[in-house]
Chains A and B, each alone.
Chain A
């Protein structure tokens, strides 16, 4: 436990230190990666730890982004209430979707979540008068100020992304070491047996989904607030596939994996989009390669070969 705590605190400290040494371009990229890694951490709690393979997490990401973005667009509420509303939207949506979708399992669960997410995406397009559909809208930089700090400023942005990412990472580490987290894993490994032991698996899965969705919504709201833009493409199928890809690549069911996967994939796409427009080709090849050769991902391979107790 102490070794793993040291590892994760070390990562957090390293990321803070990088704030002072990185050149501007990498600095901005890393802020974006940390914000998106929060999304991956959220997804990992549902998929990696509880075994709920959802293909619709973009709806939670978008709920956070639009919850925050629309509040700031149409009222004078300010960034903090916007962030809070984003979280509430994500959690509420997850509760409603979970109550229905968790009645199914496996392939049906994937399709049901995909369909709900698609319905949310289309709803955003349908209310284009407010959301400006695919084009999206810019969140006014005057509204993105917390206690005098401008969230659009690159230094503040990095630190806010770092703080949120660290909070999500440490929360995730804490959760999976708690009894609840252990039961999530038990459900993933063998649900009938967990039920036999007396756990209310439906309620626990709902709990996992709501936690996962709230963290995803936090990522969406943070992304909107830090980068000042909300658009319907963030609610599309692609943004449901991305966290799956990041988590699979980094290692499903590991605390550090989502960050590694997001970082790796971000730079892979960043480098390849310099060569070709068809950068999603890399995502496709990586997905196929992962299912064939490394279903455990990066951190999963480390756990398998070197460090069996990696959480």
Chain B
């Protein structure tokens, strides 16, 4: 393959990663924005989403499409419910103290991961995509007689990958609309702006927190369901996803949803492109160092507002 088609292929792979990452990081960002806590167990909710998708596909009939639809509905509900329960039993009792919350969610991370290991097992298991036709992509070449189209060998994507990008974009748009246009979104934004004032206006802040924590986890679970037909479900898959979402949320600015999405595209695309042309380990070293330096020199992120 020539350089041009190769680059396009890398960008397509990067776009799939960016879409899933944006969805997952939005959850992390939402939780941080409203509750001001960092949820270290976020990667495990993503993993649980993938594992639930496998479980549903394994036990529900109706072919890959039916099972996939069921998983898309069930996984966020199950995982979100679990997260809301964890919020009410653990985080509420330590009063959402930022540092103790991190320690507690590290504990939660290990509990979820190890319970999955004990029940689901150490194997990586695939889930069949609901549809997966191969789409060959054309490439333009400027030759002697003007531009001409041809289909280079190997330059192709699948309909499922395009669906992942579209679905993630749709879901993120839906969250934005919910936050900006509905009563529930208004309540969340009010809690984010001033917790005490919100309480004074009769907003049940603790229930809002539980709901936000659940929604954040649900978004991670959705990302897990979307990715599982491409990657396989494995009990350790949350770690790397967590690290990447951290990177995205920090570069984008903690708590800023727009920044998160821009950063997800940036990181996803560059990770895809660098991984194709260079060593993936080198790409990750550069990304982690970049994040550390952004936090040191521009703590509000690239799009965040300075803390008041």
Contact between A288 and B90 (Cβ–Cβ < 8 Å)?
yes
Is the CB of B123 closer than 8 A to any CB of chain A? no
Quick one: given A122-B285, A280-B114, are A108 and B94 in contact (CB under 8 Å)?
Answer: no
Contact between B118 and A103 (Cβ–Cβ < 8 Å)?
no
- Contacting residues, chain B, for A108 (C-beta < 8 A): 295, 299
A residues apposed to B, CB below 8 Å: 53, 55, 100-101, 103-104, 106-108, 110-112, 114-116, 118-119, 122-123, 125-126, 237, 241, 244, 248, 276-281, 283-292, 295
Residue of A nearest to B104 (CB): A291
Partner among A53, A103, A284 whose Cβ is within 8 Å of the Cβ of B111: A284
Quick one: given A110-B102, A278-B117, are A123 and B285 in contact (CB under 8 Å)?
Answer: yes
Contact between A122 and B288 (Cβ–Cβ < 8 Å)?
yes
Is the CB of B175 closer than 8 A to any CB of chain A? no
B residues apposed to A, CB below 8 Å: 38, 90, 93-94, 98-100, 102-104, 106-115, 117-118, 239, 243, 246, 250, 279, 281-282, 284-285, 288-289, 291-293, 295-297, 299
Contact between B38 and A284 (Cβ–Cβ < 8 Å)?
no
Quick one: given A237-B239, A291-B103, are A107 and B110 in contact (CB under 8 Å)?
Answer: no
Contact between B288 and A115 (Cβ–Cβ < 8 Å)?
yes
* A-B pairs under 8 A by CB, number: 119
What is the distance, in angstroms, from B36's C-beta to the closest C-beta of chain A? 9
Contact between A292 and B292 (Cβ–Cβ < 8 Å)?
no
Residue of B nearest to A293 (CB): B93
Contact between B239 and A292 (Cβ–Cβ < 8 Å)?
no
Quick one: given A106-B98, A123-B285, are A100 and B106 in contact (CB under 8 Å)?
Answer: no
Contact between B250 and A288 (Cβ–Cβ < 8 Å)?
no
- Contacting residues, chain B, for A283 (C-beta < 8 A): 107, 110
Quick one: given A122-B284, A280-B114, are A248 and B103 in contact (CB under 8 Å)?
Answer: yes
Contact between B115 and A241 (Cβ–Cβ < 8 Å)?
no
What is the distance, in angstroms, from A220's C-beta to the closest C-beta of chain B? 21
Contact between A292 and B296 (Cβ–Cβ < 8 Å)?
no
Contact between A107 and B38 (Cβ–Cβ < 8 Å)?
yes
> CA of A124 to CA of B253 in the docked complex: distance in angstroms?
29
Contact between B117 and A100 (Cβ–Cβ < 8 Å)?
no
- Contacting residues, chain B, for A291 (C-beta < 8 A): 90, 94, 100, 103-104, 107
Contact between A125 and B281 (Cβ–Cβ < 8 Å)?
yes
Contact between A100 and B118 (Cβ–Cβ < 8 Å)?
no
Residue of B nearest to A116 (CB): B292
What is the distance, in angstroms, from A106's C-beta to the closest C-beta of chain B? 6
Contact between A111 and B246 (Cβ–Cβ < 8 Å)?
yes
Partner among A100, A277, A292 whose Cβ is within 8 Å of the Cβ of B90: A292
- Contacting residues, chain B, for A112 (C-beta < 8 A): 292, 295-296
Contact between A276 and B118 (Cβ–Cβ < 8 Å)?
yes
- Contacting residues, chain B, for A111 (C-beta < 8 A): 38, 246, 250, 291-292, 295
Contact between A280 and B113 (Cβ–Cβ < 8 Å)?
yes
What is the distance, in angstroms, from A170's C-beta to the closest C-beta of chain B? 29
| 7 nearest A-B pairs in the assembled complex, by CB-CB distance | A284-B110, A287-B107, A281-B114, A288-B107, A278-B114, A284-B111, A115-B292
Contact between A280 and B110 (Cβ–Cβ < 8 Å)?
yes
Other contacts beyond A244-B103, A279-B114, A287-B106: 9, CB < 8 A: A103-B297, A115-B289, A241-B106, A280-B113, A281-B114, A287-B107, A289-B107, A291-B90, A295-B100
What is the distance, in angstroms, from B250's C-beta to the closest C-beta of chain A? 7
- Contacting residues, chain A, for B104 (C-beta < 8 A): 287-288, 291-292
> CA of A106 to CA of B250 in the docked complex: distance in angstroms?
15
Residue of A nearest to B36 (CB): A107
Residue of B nearest to A279 (CB): B114
User: Which of B112, B114, B282 gathers the greatest number of chain A CB atoms within 10 Å?
Assistant: B114
What is the distance, in angstroms, from A298's C-beta to the closest C-beta of chain B? 16
- Contacting residues, chain A, for B114 (C-beta < 8 A): 278-281, 284
- Contacting residues, chain A, for B118 (C-beta < 8 A): 276-278, 281
Residue of A nearest to B97 (CB): A291
User: Which of B90, B102, B282, B299 gathers the greatest number of chain A CB atoms within 10 Å?
Assistant: B102
Partner among A122, A281, A292 whose Cβ is within 8 Å of the Cβ of B93: A292
